[in-house]
Amino acid sequence: MKISVGSTNAIKVNAVKEIISEYDFFAFAEVIPCDVSSEVSSQPKTIDETIRGAMNRAKNAFHDCVYSFGLESGLMEVPHTKSGYMDFCACAIYDGKKFHLGLSSCFEYPKEVIRLIFEEGLEVDEAYVKLGLTENARIGRAEGVIGQLTKGRLKRKEYTKQAIRTALIHLESPGLY
């Protein structure tokens, strides 16, 4: 069985590989990374845009496979937070007909990071570098900002796995959906 992942980001691809190894119905699956477009902005700023990005990645990666996975992190408005926004990861699994969606836990960026994202159009990585919060211009391909904020207690790959696990509920219990 072939499974495509709509990304070449090693964090996302390895998260899929590690999670599917826990499921018997993926016992002999081969995971193929695909460089595809999310067809949304490089820094999604709404829950709708983020989920559409994950769905577009999954659909655009669906070639010669049984399932394709799309993963997209982005922002969503959350009332009563300090910045007004939280980051989350969306997973869309596509079977050629239907999408199966899951989300990760959410966390809040510092207010100044959110300001730079919305006022200057920066991506999270760029905002973190500009503010001197990291020297790693590709922190999203490493431990992620979540890894830095939690002092390594929750890294980007684990946070991404949460979204994959919740999307897989639909495949593991199809009669419920």
What is the rounded average pLDDT for all residues in the chain? 95
pLDDT value for 144 = 87
Is residue 22 domain-resident?
A: yes
Q: pLDDT tens digits, residue range 61-111?
A: 999 999 999 999 999 999 999 999 999 999 999 999 999 999 999 999 999
Is residue 8 domain-resident?
A: yes
Length of the chain: 177
Q: pLDDT tens digits, residue range 35-56?
A: 999 999 999 999 999 999 999 9
pTM of the model: 0.95
Is residue 90 domain-resident?
A: yes
Residue 11 has pLDDT above 80, yes or no: yes
Is residue 131 domain-resident?
A: no
CATH number of domain containing 79: 3.90.950.10
Is residue 118 domain-resident?
A: no
Is residue 104 domain-resident?
A: yes
Phi (first) and psi of residue 47, to 5 degrees: -65, -40
Is residue 149 domain-resident?
A: no
pLDDT value for 9 = 94
User: Residue 105: is it exposed, middle or buried by C-beta count within 10 angstroms (0-12/13-18/19+)?
Assistant: middle
User: Which residues form the domain of 163?
Assistant: 2-108+155-176
Number of C-beta neighbours around residue 174 at 10 A: 11
Give residues with Cβ within 8 angstroms of 104, minimum separation 6: 88, 89, 90, 91, 159, 160, 162, 163, 166
